[in-house]
Amino acid sequence: MESEQSAAAIVDAVREIYGYDFVPLHRPVFAGAEKANLAACIDSNFVSSVGEKVTAFEASIAAFTGSRFAVATVNGTAALHVGLILAGVERGDEVISQALTFVATCNAISYIGAHPVFVDVDRETMGLGATALKQFLSATVRLTDGRAYNRVTGRRIAACVPMHSFGLACEIEEIADLCAGYGIPVVEDAAESLGSYVGKRHTGTFGLIGTYSFNGNKIITTGGGGMIVTDDEIIARRAKHLTTTAKTPHPYEFVHDEVGFNYRMPNLNAALGCAQMDQLPGFLRLKRAVADYYHDRLADIGAGFIKEREGTRANYWLNALCLPDAAARDAVLNACNDAGVMTRPVWRLMSSLPMFRDCMHDGLEVSRWLEKRIVNIPSSVPDAVIADGPLGPYLA
C-alpha cells in the first residue's frame, strides 16, 4: 500500500510538470536554430566530418567546460575508447572503474583488450568512491619504476575511469589526487554531466582527459555524438588524428601512419550541437527547477531524492530516487510505467554481466545496495513554464 501511494505521488508530480499522456524519461528539445543550422549544412554540401559546424561545436564545448581543446567524435563510447588509448592503456592492462555504470564504460575498456577492475561507489554521489579507491590502491597496488601494478594479477593498472552518475559530480578531486600518487592517469567519464561543477570547475576537466556524450537522451544532443576534452595539446592533436583514420595531411594522397578510427563527428550532427549549446544555460535552469520541485514535492513518500553534494552543482540530467528496498523499487517501477510515466531502475552492475563476471572487484557493498533501490524519474526540459505553474516558484 505504501509503495502504491509513493507511485501515485510520483505520477501526480510528473504530470503536473509535463502533462503528456505518456511521459518519457528524457526527450530532446529542439527550440532554437537546429533546423536553420541543418539547412545551412545541406546548402554548403559539407555534411560529413569536414565542416565549419564541427569546428564551432568543438570550440563551444571547450569554452563552456574551460578546456583548452575539444575533439568531436561520433558518440561518447568512441570518445572514451580513444581517450583510453591516448592515456596509454594497452592490451592486457587493467583499468579501474565502477560496476555501477552504463555498459559503454566497460565496453570502451574492452575494445583495447584491457580488463576492468571494479571499485565501489560512494552512496551520496553514486560515482566511484574516494574512500573505497584509497583502500583498494593501498591494499592491491605496488609501484615499480613509477608504474602501478596489481599485486594479485600482476597486470599494470594503466588508467582510472570514474563516472559522474546522472550528472552528479563524483569525488573527482580526491580521486585525481589519489591516482596521481600512483602514477595512474584519470580519464573522466563525464558523459552525463555537461553543465555539472565541483566548485567553479567543470566535470571532465580534472583528469588527463574527459569525455562527454550527446546521445538523444542527454542534456544536449547531436543525435549521436561525443567529445574528448583535454588541456594537453599533443593529446588533442593525436585525438583528432586517431579519430580521422590516422590519415596524414595531404591534398590527395591516402597515407595512414597507424591504426586509426573513423570516429569524427559529421557536420550535420555538429550543426544540431551548436544550436543546442545556445540553449544549454536555459536547459540547466529549467532542469534545476524540476529537481528542486521533485525534492520538495516528494519529500514525504519514503523515497530519498538524490541531491548534489555540498560544494558541487549538478546538471540534474536524470533525477533519481532511493527507495527503501528492492520490493518497493519494483512496485514503484511497475505502477509508474503502467500509468504511462516512464521510470527505470539503475543499471545492472557490470560485475553481474556475463562478459565482466570474472573481473576483479572489492566486494561492491554500496553498489549492490544502490542497485536494489535507485529509480530514475522523468527529467526532460519542460516545453514551457507559465508563471503560476508548478515550477514558477523555483524559477523566480
Residue 51 is predicted with a pLDDT of 85
**Which three cell numbers mark 174?**
580526491
Residue 357 is predicted with a pLDDT of 97
Per residue in 274-304, pLDDT tens? 999 999 999 999 999 999 999 999 988 878 9
Q: What is the mean pLDDT of the chain?
A: 95
Residue 163 is predicted with a pLDDT of 98
Closest CA to 314 of 212, 193, 220: 193
Interstrand relation of 209-213 and 187-189 (parallel, antiparallel or unpaired): parallel
Alpha-carbon gap, residue 168 to 146, rounded angstroms: 32
Residue 170 is predicted with a pLDDT of 98
Residue 321 is predicted with a pLDDT of 97
Single-letter amino acid, residue 143: L
Per residue in 90-143, pLDDT tens? 999 999 999 999 999 999 999 999 999 999 999 999 999 999 999 999 999 999
Sequential DSSP letters for 116-178: EEE-PBPTTTSSB-HHHHHHHHHHHEEEETTEEEETTT--BEEEE--B-GGG---SHHHHHHH
Residue 33 is predicted with a pLDDT of 96
Note whether 29 and 380 are within 8 A (CB). Answer: yes
| 167 φψ region: left (φ > 0), alpha (ψ -120 to 50), beta (else) | left
- As a whole number, mean pLDDT of residues 223-250 equals 96
Number of helical H runs and strand E runs in the chain: 12, 16
Residue 292 is predicted with a pLDDT of 96
Domain residue ranges in the chain = 2-28+280-395, 34-275
Closest CA to 46 of 267, 243, 338, 221: 267
Sheet hosting strand 94-97, strand order edge to edge: 115-118, 94-97, 157-160
Cβ neighbours of residue 19 closer than 8 Å, sequence gap 6 or more: none
Alpha-carbon gap, residue 104 to 114, rounded angstroms: 14
One fold for both 2-28+280-395 and 34-275?
no
Note whether 226 and 77 are within 8 A (CB). Answer: yes
- As a whole number, mean pLDDT of residues 210-230 equals 97
Per residue in 311-366, pLDDT tens? 999 999 999 999 999 999 999 999 999 999 999 999 999 999 999 999 999 999 99
**Which three cell numbers mark 233?**
595539446
Alpha-carbon gap, residue 288 to 46, rounded angstroms: 37
Looking at the chain, the whole-number percentage of residues with pLDDT higher than 90 is 91
- As a whole number, mean pLDDT of residues 256-270 equals 96
Res 387 pLDDT > 70:
no
Note whether 336 and 36 are within 8 A (CB). Answer: no
Alpha-carbon gap, residue 85 to 72, rounded angstroms: 16
**CATH ID of 2-28+280-395, from 3.40.50.2300, 3.90.1150.10, 1.10.1060.10, 3.30.1490.190:** 3.90.1150.10
Res 1 pLDDT > 60:
no
Looking at the chain, the whole-number percentage of residues with pLDDT higher than 70 is 98
Per DSSP, what are the bridge partners of residue 377?
A: 319
Alpha-carbon gap, residue 57 to 73, rounded angstroms: 11
Phi and psi at residue 140, to the nearest 5°: -115, -25
Per residue in 21-69, pLDDT tens? 899 999 999 999 999 999 999 999 888 888 899 999 999 999 999 999 9
Res 378 pLDDT > 70:
yes
Cβ neighbours of residue 302 closer than 8 Å, sequence gap 6 or more: 2, 6, 323, 324, 328
Note whether 263 and 245 are within 8 A (CB). Answer: no
Alpha-carbon gap, residue 378 to 287, rounded angstroms: 11
Specify burial of residue 338 (Cβ count, 10 A radius: 0-12, 13-18, 19+).
exposed
**CATH ID of 34-275, from 3.30.365.10, 3.30.420.40, 2.40.400.10, 3.40.640.10:** 3.40.640.10
Res 386 pLDDT > 70:
no
Residue 385 is predicted with a pLDDT of 67
Residues, the chain: 396
- 21: DSSP letter: S
Residue 2 is predicted with a pLDDT of 73
Residue 318 is predicted with a pLDDT of 98
Residue 230 is predicted with a pLDDT of 98
Note whether 120 and 129 are within 8 A (CB). Answer: yes
Does the CA dihedral 298-299-303-306 come out positive or negative? positive
Note whether 73 and 79 are within 8 A (CB). Answer: yes
